Amino acid sequence: MAIVESSELIEQLKAIVGPGGYREGEDIDSKNYKDLMGARSVHPPLLMRPETTEQVSQILKACHSVKQPIAPQGGMTGLVSGAAPLDGEIVLSFERMKEVVEVDKFTSTMTVQAGVELQTIQEKAEESNLLFPLDLGARGSCTIGGNLATNAGGNRVIRYGMTRDLVVGVEAVLADGTIIDGLHKLRKNNTGYDLKQLFIGSEGTLGLITQAVIKLAPKPNSQAVALCGLKSFSEVADFLVLAQSSLGSNLSAFEVLWNNTYKLIDEYVPHVDSPLSQSFGFYVLIETMGSNAEQDLDLFLNTLNEASESGLVEEVVVADSDTKIRNIWAVRDGAAEVIGAGYMHAYDVSLNIDDMGYFGDEVEKRIRAKWEQTTIGLFGHIGDGNVHIIVNIGPETRDLHLEIDEIVYRLIQELNGSISAEHGIGIMKKQFLEYSKSDPEIQLMKTLKQTMDPHGILSPGRIF
Ligand code: FAD
Ligand code: ZN
């Protein structure tokens, strides 16, 4: 398939972007080809760094005509090994498409090029007293193009939705170079198929996202955070119901750490100062944001009181300063930093809340039945039904990960859950796609791929 040897194509591609718009050989930095998950490190023959949508279009047109495969790339923080190139693929990075085109306070939207980092967008929104609600640990390096391509979730989905819910318009380029200009600011637009949704969450397989119009929200002026210790998962589920009904739309995060993860953070993430003892079965980080600081805090404290008095919550630490708010969030974020315990193979699954307590016990039981000395931790965005699991079965964790995957995903299938809540399928999960999608669904996905990218040049081998 790879025809990058064709010097004619290489010369044509270089001419499209001009000097500075490409890199080759030793000039290509390892960040542009090394997979974060350690799955591969294939040096690409060419790295394309276009600056405009027109250049992206011309690159795709040239590659389409000779069936040259492409690995599109944002910040390379994806967790399913999608963006790192495979043998023979050229890389198309959005690292030079970093322009914030416009912040429009009348429509509460921002227009951005695909390569703008999430944190830049958050800061730009704040300058206009607005909020871009998407937030995740990789905010400093991930790009909005990557966020859209993976339909990223993160910490505030419970209130604001996934990336899919935060997009008004998308400009994308099809495999043959056709530019699909859906870049408008209309929140209501029922003119047939919602084409932007084809590109959101399709992991670079149906088209390349070059620009987007994203939705901004009013910036909240209150934030309250507490860490609570609870006995069992049934209390966690009841606490969530109470929080949702009494806090309403103020509830902005409901993050949970199982006891196993809390202990791992205490032991292996030294910069985190855990404010509760290790004696609780579950730890809930609860956060509210609103527009009336005094009333919001009263509502927050009343809800926590009610939860304590009814015996749902055993102990509560309320953050009374910005520093303490950051400290409590650092405990939660510590779950992604438990590396001292060895390589942690990570999962991102979703299931119904009332199955989650059983799932946590059962998944550990099944993995331990095979590898008794397993280190395992569960945590996640439980308000959205999303659990992350980290597992180390010993030095052979990486080599045997497909066997662990089989145990985890089989249980997910039994519970009618999803093998990917927010990270996508990429290459890492593709052999398990059928555990969460039916044959007709997969067939329809393949039909779309065939129609939109008949030569299969965009992210080939990803998803299926
Ligand atoms: P990349 O990794 O570069 O690419 C991801 C995929 O999108 C690839 O398939 C790539 O080909 C494709 N792609 C990239 N740009 C484009 C484009 N412009 N057009 C078409 N396709 C494109 N994810 C969550 O959902 N929630 C979390 O809470 C979360 N937390 C994280 C915490 C940490 C510490 C880390 C390292 C990752 C986390 N992630 C999380 C995963 C990751 O950050 C997201 O998937 C992010 O959206 C990827 O963005 P990126 O720019 O790095 O994309
Ligand atoms: Zn997550």
Cβ atoms of 92 and 72 within 8 Å: the answer is yes
d(CA 359, CA 330): 26
Partnered with residue 194 across adjacent β-strands are none
pLDDT tens-digit readout, 89-145: 999 999 999 999 999 999 999 999 999 999 999 999 999 999 999 998 899 999 999
Which of 80, 122, 142 best tests ligand 1's pocket when mutated (most atoms within 8 Å of CB)? 142
Closest by Cα among 77, 85, 80 to 425: 80
Closest by Cα among 247, 333, 253 to 296: 247
d(CA 304, CA 262): 21
Closest by Cα among 31, 51, 133, 54 to 99: 51
Residue-range domain boundaries for the chain: 7-96, 100-218, 222-339, 342-445
Q: Give the number of whichever ligand sits closest to the CA of residue 156.
A: 1
Residue with the nearest Cα to atom 8 of ligand 1?
A: 83
- When pLDDT is averaged across residues 326-351 and rounded to a whole number, the result is 91
pLDDT tens-digit readout, 193-220: 999 999 999 999 999 999 999 999 999 9
Q: Which of 127-131, 318-322, 335-339 has the lowest mean pLDDT?
A: 335-339
d(CA 398, CA 393): 9
The one-letter code for the residue type at 410 is: R
pLDDT tens-digit readout, 26-46: 999 999 999 988 889 999 999
Above 90 in pLDDT, residue 2?
no
How many angstroms does the Cα of residue 407 sit away from the middle of ligand 2? 21
Residue with the nearest Cα to atom 46 of ligand 1?
A: 147
Above 50 in pLDDT, residue 169?
yes
Q: Which two tokens stand for residue 223?
A: 């934030």
The SS3 assignment for 36 reads: coil
How many angstroms does the Cα of residue 235 sit away from the middle of ligand 1? 33
d(CA 233, CA 240): 11
d(CA 147, CA 118): 8
How many angstroms does the Cα of residue 106 sit away from the middle of ligand 2? 32
In CATH, the architecture of 342-445 is 2-Layer Sandwich (3.30)
The SS3 assignment for 80 reads: coil
Above 70 in pLDDT, residue 392?
yes
> Exposure of 27 by Cβ count < 10 A (0-12 exposed, 13-18 middle, 19+ buried)?
exposed
This prediction has a pTM of 0.95
d(CA 224, CA 38): 38
Q: Does CATH number 3.30.43.10 belong to domain 7-96?
A: yes
Q: Which two tokens stand for residue 234?
A: 């049934």
340 pLDDT band, cuts 50/70/90, is confident
Atom index in ligand 1 nearest the CA of residue 36 equals 36
DSSP E strands: which ranges in 82-132? 90-93, 100-104, 109-113, 130-131
Q: Give the number of whichever ligand sits closest to the CA of residue 141.
A: 1
DSSP per residue over 120-131, as a string? HHHHHHHHTTEE
Cβ atoms of 316 and 280 within 8 Å: the answer is no
The one-letter code for the residue type at 390 is: I
What is the CATH number assigned to the segment(s) 222-339?
A: 3.30.70.2190
70-73 vs 90-93, strand pairing mode: parallel
Eight-class DSSP state of 154: B
Above 70 in pLDDT, residue 4?
no
Q: Give the number of whichever ligand sits closest to the CA of residue 138.
A: 1
In what helix (H) or strand (E) does residue 405 lie, and over which residues does it extend?
helix 401-414
d(CA 344, CA 360): 17
Q: Which two tokens stand for residue 136?
A: 């995740």
The one-letter code for the residue type at 82 is: G
Please tell me the predicted confidence (pLDDT) of residue 5. Answer: 59
Residues of the chain with pLDDT > 70, as a percent, come to 99
Above 80 in pLDDT, residue 228?
yes
Cβ atoms of 204 and 424 within 8 Å: the answer is no
Identical fold for domains 100-218 and 342-445, yes or no, is no
d(CA 78, CA 424): 9
How many angstroms does the Cα of residue 96 sit away from the middle of ligand 1? 17
pLDDT tens-digit readout, 68-90: 999 999 999 999 999 999 999 99
Above 70 in pLDDT, residue 67?
yes
Above 60 in pLDDT, residue 330?
yes
How many angstroms does the Cα of residue 24 sit away from the middle of ligand 1? 24
Query: What lines the ligand 1 site, CB under 6 Å?
Result: 72-79, 82-83, 94, 114, 136-138, 142-143, 145-147, 149-150, 152-154, 203-204, 208-209, 336, 422-423, 426, 459, 462
- Indicate the fold that domain 100-218 takes in CATH: 3.30.465
Please tell me the predicted confidence (pLDDT) of residue 1. Answer: 47
Percent composition of the chain: helix, strand, coil (DSSP 3-state, to 5): 40, 20, 40
Which of 56, 90, 134, 150 best tests ligand 1's pocket when mutated (most atoms within 8 Å of CB)? 150
Q: Which of 218-232, 327-341, 364-378 has the lowest mean pLDDT?
A: 327-341
First to last CA, the chain: 17
Atom index in ligand 1 nearest the CA of residue 421 equals 25
Eight-class DSSP state of 219: P
